[in-house]
Chain A
Amino acid sequence: MTAPVIIFFVLAALAVLASVSLILQRHPIHSALSLIVVMVALAGLYLLMGAEFVAAVQIIVYGGAVMVLFVFVIMLLNAGDEERTNFSKLATFGGIPLALALGGIIAAAIVRSSGHLPPPAASGAMSSTKQLSMLLFSEFVYPFELTSFLILVAILGAIVLAQREN
C-alpha cells in the first residue's frame, strides 16, 4: 500500500468512527465534538485529492463557523444528557429494513464497480483557487447568485423572528 492509500484509510476510519460516536454519544456537546472530527477528517480527504482550497474552506465554514454556532447554542441552552429510548416501532419496522437496503445497494455498487474503477480525476485541474473561482463566476454564476439570495432570505427570516416580540 502506498502512503496516500494508508492516509485515506486512516481518515476514512476516523470519519466513520466519529459519525458513529456522533449518534451514540448521550451528551449533545459530545455529539457536536464528534461532528467536528467528521468535518476535519473530510477536509483531510479533500486535501488528499489535491483540493487545498476546498479543504481549507471546509474547515473554516463547517469545522469553524457552523459548528461553533452549534456548540454555542448547546452551551447557551445548557442542554443535559439525552434520555435514551428503546427501539420505537417506526425504527424497528421502518428504519432497520431501510438501513439494510441502503447498505446492500452501496455494497452491491462497490462490488460491481471494483476492478474497473475510473481513475481519480486528474488533481490540479480543479484544485487551483483561481480556476475554481473562474468557474464559479462564469459557468455557475446563476446557481451561485441564487444560493446567496437564499442565504439572504434566511438571514431576513431570522431577523423577523427575533423582532417579533417587540
Chain B
Amino acid sequence: MSEFLAKYAFLIIPIIKVVILVFAVLTIDAYLTWLERKVIAHIQARWGPHRVGPHGLLQPLADGIKFILKEDPMPSGVDKIGYFLAPFLTLTLAITSLSVIPFGPDIKAFGYVTNFGIADVNVSLLVLFAITALGVYGVALAGWASNNKYSLLGGLRSSAQMISYELALTLSVVGVLLIAGDLSLKHIVEHQDNGSLGLLGWNLFGFAKDGEGFTQIIGFICFFIAAIAETNRVPFDLPEAESELVAGFHTEYASMKFAMFFIGEYTSMIAVSCLATILFFGGWLSPFPASWTLTHYLPSVILIPFGLWVIFDGIRYETIFGRILLPGVGTVLTAMGAALFLSPAANDLIQGPFWFFAKVFVFLFFYIWMRGTLPRFRYDQLMDFGWKILLPVSIANVVLTSAFLLWRMH
C-alpha cells in the first residue's frame, strides 16, 4: 500500500489539491456574491440580503438551489456548439488559471515537501496569460451563438476590449520581470523578500535585497486598471451593460449556464487579485521585518476578537436559528484563534497563506467598492483610454525600469 502511494504520489497529491482548490474556490465565489451585495447595499444605505439565514449568510445557498432548479430554455436559431461550449469554456479556463498560483511557501508535512498551489511551472506567469488569452472565447462565442443582436454586440465589445487591454496588461508586468529576472511566480515572490525592510522590499516600493529593484507603482496602476477591464468589471463592464444591451453576452442564458458565467467572472476576479498580490505586493510575505516575531500572532489577534464579536452579536439576533448559528460560528472562530495562539507550529504554517489571502481580500474588496462607486465608461472613452493612455504609460514604465536597472548595474 505504502509502496503504491510512494509510486503514484505525484498523481495523488495534485488530484487531492485540485479537489480542495475547486471546492474552496466555488465556496469563496458564493460568499463573494454575498459580500458584494452586502457592501454595495451598505454603500447605498440599504441592508442587502438578510432574510435567508442570519445576516443573509445562507443567501448563496438559496441562489445556488434556484440556479439548479430553474428551467433552462434554449432560444431558437442558436448555434448549438457555441451556445453550450461558451459557459463551460468560461468557467473551466477561469478555474484553471488558479492552478499555477502559489498561495504560500512550500508546505512540509508528514515528511513530504510540496508547493502551496497545484502546479509549480517555471513559466507560470506566461501560462496564466495564455489561459487568460483563451478566456475571451467564452464571452465572444456566447455573444455570437445566442442569435440575439444584443448578445452579439456584447460579444463584439468584449473581444475588442480584451484585445486592447491585454497589451497593456502584459506590458505592465514587464517591469516586474526585469527586476526578478524570472517568469516563475514563486521566484518573483521570493525575490521580493527583503528580511530587514519588510514591505519596502515588495515590487511596489522596489527596495530589493540585492539592490536591483525599482518602484513599480506605475506598473501596478496600469496592471490593475487593465486587469479590471480584462475581467469585465465596473467601470469596464460594457460587454454586459444592462442599460444598453439588456445583459450583453449572457442575455439568452438562464439557470446553471448563466451561473457558470457568473462563477467564471468571480473566479477571474480572484485570479487577478492573486496575480496583483504576487507581482506587486510580495505574495505571501509579511509586510513587517522578519525580526518582528510578535506580528506572527496577528491572525489570532484578528480571529479571537472577531469570533467574540460574532458570539456577542449572535446571542441578541432576532431569529432563533441565528441565535444558534452565529454563536456557533463565533465559537469556532475564537477556538481557531486560540489554537493558533497556543500552537507555534500551526501558527508558522498559517503565516504565508494568512498574508496572501489578506492581500487578495483587499483587492476583492476594492473591486466591489469600485462597483458601488464608479459609473460606466462610454465605449469610445474606453478605447481611447486603453490605447492612448494605458499602453504608452506601461511602455514608459518598461523603459524607465530598464534604464534604472542598467544604471544600477554599471
Contacts and interface: CB of A to CB of B under 8 A. Distances in A.
Interface in B138-182: 140-141, 143-144, 152, 155-156, 159-160, 162-163, 166
Contacts of B85: 33
A71 B121 CA distance: 30
Contacts of A72: 140, 156, 159-160, 163
Interface stretch (B24-32, B126-134, B302-310): B126-134
Contacts of A69: 163
Interface in A113-139: 129
A64 interface: yes
Contact of B136 (A33, A59, A68): A68
Nearest to A72: B159
B133 A59 contact: yes
B21 interface: no
A157 to B, nearest CB: 19
Contacts, number: 78
B183 interface: yes
A59 B134 contact: yes
Interface of B is mostly: helix
Interface in A14-46: 27, 29-30, 33, 36, 40, 43
B123 A129 contact: yes
B152 A56 contact: no
Contacts of A71: 137, 140-141, 144, 159
A29 B130 contact: no
Contact of B82 (A29, A52, A56, A64): A29
Contacts of B160: 72
A75 B133 contact: no
Given A63-B130, A64-B134, 7 more contacts: A33-B85, A40-B134, A59-B133, A60-B129, A64-B166, A71-B137, A72-B163
14 contacts: A40-B134, A52-B126, A53-B123, A56-B129, A59-B130, A59-B131, A60-B129, A60-B133, A64-B134, A68-B133, A68-B136, A71-B159, A72-B140, A78-B152
Interface of A: 27, 29-30, 33, 36, 40, 43, 52-53, 56-57, 59-60, 63-65, 68-69, 71-72, 75-76, 78, 129
